Amino acid sequence: MDNLDFLMNRAGEILRRQTPLLDREKLAAYVQSFLSRRDAFLAITRRHGSPLYILDEPALFDRAYRFSEAFQREIPRINLFYALKSNHHPAIASRLAGCGMGLDVSSGLELQTALAIPDVPIIFSGPGKTLPELALAVAHADRVTVLIDSFGELARLEQAASAAGATMSAGVRLTNDERGLWRKFGIPPADLERFMTDADSCAHVMLCGLQFHSSWNMDPERQVAFISRLGELMGQLPAHRRTQITFIDIGGGYWPEAGEWLQEAGTPEGRLRQCLQPETFGTSGPYGYPSTPIDLFAERLGRAVKAELHSRIDCRIFAEPGRWLCHDAMHILLTVIDKKGDDLVITDGATNAIGWERFETDYFPVINLSRPDRQERPGLVLGSLCTPHDVWGYGYYGTDIQPGDILLMPSQGAYTYSLRQNFIKPVPETAVLSAAPDQI
């Protein structure tokens, strides 16, 4: 079989495969959970206008409590660090710090945001840390632990710490995928003992931890597999090296329990079909892949940590939740500005508020708070940017849609606010939806 035949057969397999449809009843119940708070959303819009980011404080506190409770039950000696890159709004960071979490930062800019919050412990991860960034970490060595990404970074950290006359606590990242683009992160596990030997010669770096991370975890299997591999690695280290390690960071990437929601163009078969018929879009679905409840995540990871790590080494466990905590903690409010046809409206807010063409592939319900209904009706809901890719959705939940209507885009807390951009239009302001009505 030549390559063309192979590709044609694979294309046929993809087109015949059907991504699961979202359960419409569950989706309607999700929409209803926001309609039940309709008055609060409308009140905050009257006070602050639109477009508007809404920081949903009760949702944030609920997610923080649920995540902490689940993991502390299964791994009592665990420290949680909120991954700031998922949403770097200072109010989210400060509220989670108030819940007892530390902060995980990936740049000098994020480190400055974290340092503005008094007393919060910080881990500084990410590749390619510059000397000025490392110097900032060293200047706050009482609060910051650097997760070193390479042999070169170890040398730069020693240079920065030596210049300051300080000693820096540090861990090293181990790559859990040595193929392709993921080689960017960390060192191969096989190089760990050599790295620890090099660190011995760095008088100003105290290497005391390990870290790994995998993203987009719909279930815990990849994390469990690497914890098992890490346990084998710990068993091979000399005893004095094992006692040197006081923490192991098992990363983040926990997917929210609702699962991944997709437009047709976000599915494998939809992407291929759109290449063959580019004029079709948003004609079916929505689709979705399920995710694992956080209690089961914690149970599986806790069991792996106990069997593979704590049986060999006495250390604390760190974790870096981001998306799971902030996904439901921020929403976007919009106003319909123009109706250009029965099936097309334009809103005052645009997708520069989320920074990318998210809703061409990802699905979230557009909820018309002004004319509420639990049924979705077809119609293009587009933003006000001078580009056709400024899409909010291909339908809306409401009895009708007209200029002046207030629309809610729920659960836009993760990797939207942090990706916003001043492209054509300014980014929205932020208002806090508090548990106390008089604080709206």
Each residue of 405-423: pLDDT tens digit?
Answer: 999 999 999 999 999 999 9
Residues 252 and 235 occupy one common structural domain: yes
Residues 150 and 185 occupy one common structural domain: yes
CATH number at residue 67: 3.20.20.10
Alpha helices in 165-214 (DSSP H): 192-200
Residues 121 and 85 occupy one common structural domain: yes
- Total of domains in the chain: 2
Query: In terms of residue numbers, what domain contains 217?
Result: 58-326
* Other beta carbons less than 10 A from residue 378's beta carbon: 12
Helix, strand, or coil (residue 270): helix
Residues 262 and 369 occupy one common structural domain: no
Q: What is the mean pLDDT of residues 207-220?
A: 96
- What digits encode the pLDDT tens for the residues 259-270? 999 999 898 888
- What digits encode the pLDDT tens for the residues 321-342? 999 999 999 999 999 999 999 9
Residues 181 and 128 occupy one common structural domain: yes
Contact 279, 10 (CB under 8 A): no
- Using CA atoms, how far apart are residues 197 and 24, in angstroms rounded to an integer? 57
Helix, strand, or coil (residue 230): helix
Q: Which run of H or E residues covers position 261?
A: strand 260-262
CATH number at residue 405: 2.40.37.10
Helix, strand, or coil (residue 202): coil
Residue 303 has pLDDT above 50, yes or no: yes
Residues 391 and 413 occupy one common structural domain: yes
- Using CA atoms, how far apart are residues 301 and 33, in angstroms rounded to an integer? 31
Residue 437 has pLDDT above 50, yes or no: no
**Residue 180 CA, distance from chain mean position:** 22
* Other beta carbons less than 10 A from residue 257's beta carbon: 18
Residue 105 neighbours by CB under 8 Å, 6+ apart: 84, 85, 111, 113, 114, 122, 123, 124, 125, 126
Q: What is the mean pLDDT of residues 122-147?
A: 98
Does 12 reside within a domain? Answer: no
- Using CA atoms, how far apart are residues 210 and 5, in angstroms rounded to an integer? 46
Amino acid, single-letter form, for residue 406: I
The CA distances from residue 403 to 287, 368, 369, in Å, are 29, 11, 13
Residues 219 and 143 occupy one common structural domain: yes
Does 245 reside within a domain? Answer: yes
Last residue of a domain, one of 301, 326, 351: 326
* Other beta carbons less than 10 A from residue 7's beta carbon: 11
First-to-last alpha carbon distance for the chain, in angstroms, is 65
Does 16 reside within a domain? Answer: no
Residue 373 has pLDDT above 90, yes or no: yes
Q: What is the mean pLDDT of residues 235-263?
A: 95
pLDDT grade, residue 438 (50/70/90)?
A: very low
Last residue of a domain, one of 326, 357, 389: 326
Last residue of a domain, one of 309, 326, 343: 326
Residues 29 and 137 occupy one common structural domain: no
pTM equals 0.94
DSSP result, 50-106: SSEEEEEHHHHHHHHHHHHHHHHHH-SSEEEEEEGGG---HHHHHHHHHTT-EEEE-
Does 387 reside within a domain? Answer: yes
Residue pointed to by tokens 């980011």: 53
For position 5, what pLDDT does the model report? 76
**How many residues are there in the chain?**
440
Helix, strand, or coil (residue 366): coil
Does 1 reside within a domain? Answer: no
Does 206 reside within a domain? Answer: yes
Task: List strand residue ranges (DSSP E) for 353-412, in order.
Answer: 367-368, 376-382, 391-397, 406-409
How much of the chain exceeds pLDDT 90, in percent? Answer: 87
Torsion angle, alpha carbons of 136, 137, 140, 142, to 10: -170
Closest CA to 313 of 324, 305, 321, 303: 305
Residues 276 and 380 occupy one common structural domain: no
Backbone dihedral angles phi then psi of residue 346, each to the nearest 5 degrees? -120, 135
Mean pLDDT of the chain: 94
Amino acid, single-letter form, for residue 214: S
For position 440, what pLDDT does the model report? 33
Closest CA to 332 of 41, 35, 32: 41
The CA distances from residue 5 to 8, 10, 18, 77, 223, in Å, are 5, 9, 22, 55, 37
Does 440 reside within a domain? Answer: no
Does 10 reside within a domain? Answer: no
Residues 74 and 187 occupy one common structural domain: yes
pLDDT grade, residue 282 (50/70/90)?
A: low
Residues 311 and 336 occupy one common structural domain: no
Residues 160 and 199 occupy one common structural domain: yes
Contact 421, 330 (CB under 8 A): no
| Long-range contacts, 113-119 (Cβ 8 Å, 24+) | 113/84, 113/88, 114/84, 115/140, 115/143, 116/90, 117/90, 117/93, 119/143
Angle at 172 between CA 171 and CA 176, to 5 degrees: 135
Backbone dihedral angles phi then psi of residue 43, each to the nearest 5 degrees? -65, -40
Closest CA to 384 of 409, 348, 356: 348
